[in-house]
Amino acid sequence: MNAFIFKITPANQKDIFRKIQIPGNLTFEDLHFAILDSFDLTSGEMASFFKSDESYYKGEEILLEDMDNDSDDVVLMEDLTIEEAIKNKTKHFLYHYDYLFLKAFHVEFIEKVKVEEEDAEDVLLLESEGKYIEDLDQMSDFLLDDEDLDSSIIKGAGKAKKDKVTYKKSNPLSIDDELEFLNMKDDDDDDDEYKFENIDDLDL
């Protein structure tokens, strides 16, 4: 029986990857759960594969669940086997998980190998490089509150760090400053008013 080896890399963390071997008779739903397990991600969110190429554009979508029951063109993960997709010469896939706080992965077909029939259901993690940390910059708008205004979390490749952010706030005027300001304004207003000359100086 044929099994297929894929290299899965987070789209924004190129030095981190997993190599997974999955039998050809299993489906993209099985690959979906294998990816979650290998990167220690919690299941329960929406996900999609997209057929792609080396540029990892979004091609035909392979859905975890059909959200539009009226559509006849939907391809579901549970209905598409790994071998069927590879036979159609698709070697690159884009994998999206958790649409609200999106996690994107590049999935590349590496090679086909032979496995014994008794191993037909086994999904293997062949290689694991680097610790994956979920990207938080897309959640920063939701995480910041009044106590967080002096700093924000910025993610680098594989580690989190804090970066100082300066927020400029206008300082309220003191009571003396306000009185001085009002007096200056009154003086300005007086200058703008029309001043009559002495009535004796007027040519009537």
CATH (domain of 23): 3.10.290.30
Does the residue 85 lie in any domain? Answer: yes
Does the residue 170 lie in any domain? Answer: no
Does the residue 143 lie in any domain? Answer: no
Could you tell me the residue range of the domain that residue 67 belongs to?
Answer: 2-131
Number of domains comprising the chain: 1
Does the residue 180 lie in any domain? Answer: no
| pLDDT tens digits in sequence order for the chain, 204 residues long | 899 999 999 998 989 999 999 999 999 999 999 999 999 999 999 999 999 999 999 999 999 998 776 667 889 999 999 999 999 889 999 999 999 999 999 999 999 999 888 877 899 999 999 999 886 444 444 444 444 433 333 233 233 223 333 223 334 444 555 555 456 545 555 555 444 455 555 555
CA distances from 100 to 96, 105, 130 (A): 11, 15, 25
CA distance 73 to 28: 17
Residue 28 contacts residue 62 (beta carbons within 8 Å): yes
Does the residue 174 lie in any domain? Answer: no
Instruction: Give the Cα-Cα-Cα angle 58, 48, 73 (nearest 5 degrees).
Output: 80
Residue 25 contacts residue 81 (beta carbons within 8 Å): yes
Q: Can you give the pTM of this predicted structure?
A: 0.65
Does the residue 47 lie in any domain? Answer: yes
CA distance 100 to 46: 9
Does the residue 86 lie in any domain? Answer: yes
Does the residue 203 lie in any domain? Answer: no
